[in-house]
Chains A and B, each alone.
Chain A
Amino acid sequence: MVLALCAALGLLLCAYANALSREARDPSQLIYWAGVLLVALPTGIRMGMRDVSLRERLVLIALFGISLYAIKVIRDPFLFTFPDEPIHAYNADRAISQHGLFNENPVLPVTSGYPGLAGATSALMALSGVSSFVAGIFLIGVARLLLVVGLFVLFNRISGSARVAGLGVFFYAGSSNFLYWGVQYSYESLSLPLLVAVLAALAEREAVDTRSIADWTVPIVLGIAAVVITHHLTSYALVVILVALMVGYRIWRTPHPRVWPFAAFALVAAAGWLVVAASSTVGYLGPVLSEAFTSTLHTVSGEAAPRTLFQSSSSSVIGETPWLGRLVTLGAVALVGVGYLLGIRQVWRERRSQPFAAVLAIGATAFFGTLVLRFAPKAWETGNRASEFLFIGVALVVAQGALVLVRRGRRLATRRVAFVLATGVIIVGGAIAGWQWDAQLAQPTRITADGADVESEPIAVARWIGDNLPAAEFAAPDADARMILAPGEANARTGDTLDIKAILEETSLSGWMLPALREHHVGFIVADRRKVATDAVRGTAFTIPGSESHPLLPAEANEKFTAVPLSRVYDGGDIVVFGLKEGP
């Protein structure tokens, strides 16, 4: 119970830091990180102790997973603001309004072909009448619980030690995407826990007697099917892992229940789904992966300058990561490396003939290779996303290495203190690596003024659109477009689609611009002078005058649309909505 109290106090600190940030007071992030550590460290360390019953360890695992998830919920309590969240919320809203799935998504069309998240969300929405925001919070919370339980079961079965398993879950929280990206309302946040659970079920299946092997078949098949219809990359990763296990079993000739039927099922299901329901995936992933590959080659060969660490590609960043934050992040990577070196020896010595352990160890090794991708400008994202899968192996190996550090012997007390400090650095460093420094805390999107609640300009225009023009098509900058999708529940396109970004930023109106939009049935343009409007992470908040956070485009960027007699249906100051149906 004391650990629950620590977690609660940690959440209160995080809420306090976020509250100060929502008041635009620019608080020190030390309050926030202290809260994160208070949530994670006491529970995590107890999870890795020797004298803990299985029941207590499970409760601690659940507390650990849910309380760290609550940090994200506390950051964004009013609506989804992470870049992918409004996109998926739109899909869920459409599933309810259209009574079906596979509805077109104007910002990220590939998501229409993977309706697992929207379908699951629609259950709670249909049964209770809550919004996609509320339903999504609960759904991702349950998925997070599945992830930590699945990791625990998987690590416990592979290592034979509940203590290693507890530590493994703890170290997985050091993954760069664990605190924020991995719990945004997005399809991968649901598919990754399902993948881990499938692996855990497979590992359990290995350990039961032959009469009970078939008992695990249905859950595994269900889980594989759910992954396939939920997220493309996760389903491909699952296929790769299952095939690797299959190969591993053949190499080591380990007595085992057959894995190949599941590998075959996953392969056929993933490929079949790609062909039948989600063919746009090729056009979506192909350029991303080929650009990552090309960028890596150019960076390695010296043809292109490497990406500077801790630099965002967004021009809206107002606060670079301070030197202490960079030190902690780099320290975290180094400590993970040390843990890996200590642990891989243990894994090699004790478990190299176990295919599960071998596959995860190979993944752990590959993780360090993906760190190189972070130096290639267009491969950073690929490396970051791959790390979520590979870090499963890292967590297990580092957990094994951590046990070496805290085993009985000389200077045990010193080693234990070093262990606690190291784990704190890994948790915080991972979180800093995975999310922009200046966006760690909430921005003011809903404030009180004179006793009433008011929302920021992009949210206000989105709600106005939802109330008055729900069936129209809009062209808008990234942040505005996402708000129009959810909570506006209307259609919006953005970015390089139809050259919308260029159209909005130019200061003069060229002859091709409006016909190009009209041809694709765009009825309205949302012209937003705020440069931050192109930043899907930072663009939804109130403007803070006098700060460096919100420079404006020239007034001509908006006023160029008055050169032709268009309707000007909404004027909010920086954001103006023009109707594309001309007057006389």
Chain B
Amino acid sequence: MRAHRDLWLACLAAVACALAAALVPWQVVRLLAALPLAFLLPGYAFAAATSGPRRPGLAQRVLLVLLCGLSVLCLGGLVLNFVPGGIRTLSWALLLVLVVFVAAWVAAVRRGDEDRERRVWRISRPRAVDLVVGVLAIAIAAGALVLAYTPLPATRAAGFTSLWMLPARPAAGPAVKVGVISSEQQAERYLLVVHPDPSARPRYFPLTLRPGERRTIRVPVTLAAEGPTRVAAVLHREADPHVPYRHVVTWLPPEVEGG
């Protein structure tokens, strides 16, 4: 294999990408490593193995790399489904590295001693004007993506507020979690009224939430001696304090198992 520089490089790159994907904590780096490991290297090695000593044309090589690469991904998932441990980071990394190594070995064997001046990728030197135009094109395309990925104001869109309530974990006694999430267009003032049980006094929570803010409150509840306990919460807006804006109800069983 020593004479087959491209195959060596593919194997080394596969190992490096697998290690980066499996061990590095930063997602961006993992993604940059995972992309060639998933989409390029197995296909390249497979294409080399199937071509053997033959050198297909450029279009055929690109076709083989992509076809074999995507096929390996589709079928690889199926293989891992039946492997102990299943689909995980380590199993995918090992599988893809194994595919690259085996395919590269087959390619080397099939190529034999024929060597690789033909494997050199020659990239012609671009003209200065092409460089400038190319950089400009990349910048504009990047600008298009930035514009697309930037959330924009839509003042005509109707904002809303959500109120929710679920049983809380009973670690510190029976209770409910009451949450308010603002998806409004501007800051709003609210009054949250929680009725922990029919016999208790309601509890009042004035809130001010900006768009995107949320508040979760844990409200202890005294459970009824028999039967479920009804807990209700009503959200009023300061602008309209007499009209219930949102309301939620939940029933806690005599023994709360958590939520």
Contact = CB atoms under 8 A, between A and B. Distances in A.
A225 B72 CA distance: 10
23 contacts: A8-B139, A24-B155, A58-B59, A116-B77, A119-B76, A119-B80, A123-B73, A123-B92, A127-B21, A128-B27, A150-B66, A194-B71, A212-B54, A222-B72, A444-B154, A446-B151, A447-B157, A452-B213, A455-B183, A545-B156, A568-B248, A568-B250, A584-B227
A127 B21 CA distance: 5
A101 B78 contact: yes
Given A449-B211, A454-B212, A138 B144 contact: no
Contacts of B164: 464, 468, 569-571, 577
A218 interface: yes
Contact of A24 (B74, B154, B159, B186): B154
Contacts of B49: 218
Contacts, number: 347
Shortest Cβ-Cβ A-B pairs, 7 listed: A119-B77, A452-B212, A99-B86, A127-B34, A583-B251, A542-B157, A449-B211
Interface residues of B, number: 105
A392 to B, nearest CB: 15
B243 to A, nearest CB: 13
B8 to A, nearest CB: 22
B77 A95 contact: yes
B109 interface: no
B158 A545 contact: yes
A394 interface: no
Interface in B1-54: 18, 21-22, 27, 30-31, 33-35, 37-39, 46-47, 49-52, 54
Contacts of B217: none
Contacts of A24: 154-157
Given A2-B133, A453-B212, A571 B248 contact: yes
B181 A460 contact: yes
A261 B183 CA distance: 60
- Specify which of B50, B64, B151, B228 lies most central, judged by the most chain A CB atoms within 10 Å of its CB: B151
B74 A226 contact: yes
Nearest to B140: A8
B157 A572 contact: no
A336 B217 CA distance: 63
Given A8-B141, A95-B77, A568-B249, A129 B50 contact: no
Contact of A23 (B74, B153, B186, B246): B153
Interface string B222-254: 000001101000010000000000111111000
B92 A457 contact: no
Nearest to A117: B74
Interface residues of A, number: 118
A4 B138 CA distance: 8
Contact of A126 (B66, B87, B151): B87
B96 A453 contact: no
B54 A215 contact: yes
A1 B64 contact: no
B148 A77 contact: yes
Contacts of B154: 22-24, 444, 447, 542
Interface string B134-170: 1011111101110111111111111111111110000
A7 B212 CA distance: 36
Interface in A563-582: 565, 567-574, 577, 579, 581-582
A198 B138 CA distance: 33
A146 B137 contact: no
B75 A229 contact: yes
A548 interface: no
A127 B37 contact: yes
A197 interface: yes
Nearest to B124: A55
B235 to A, nearest CB: 8
Nearest to A57: B59
Contacts of B152: 19, 22-23, 447-448
A128 B158 contact: no
Contacts of A16: 147
A226 B75 CA distance: 6
Given A130-B27, A229-B75, A216 B158 contact: no
Nearest to B146: A15
B172 interface: no
A134 to B, nearest CB: 8
B137 A544 contact: no
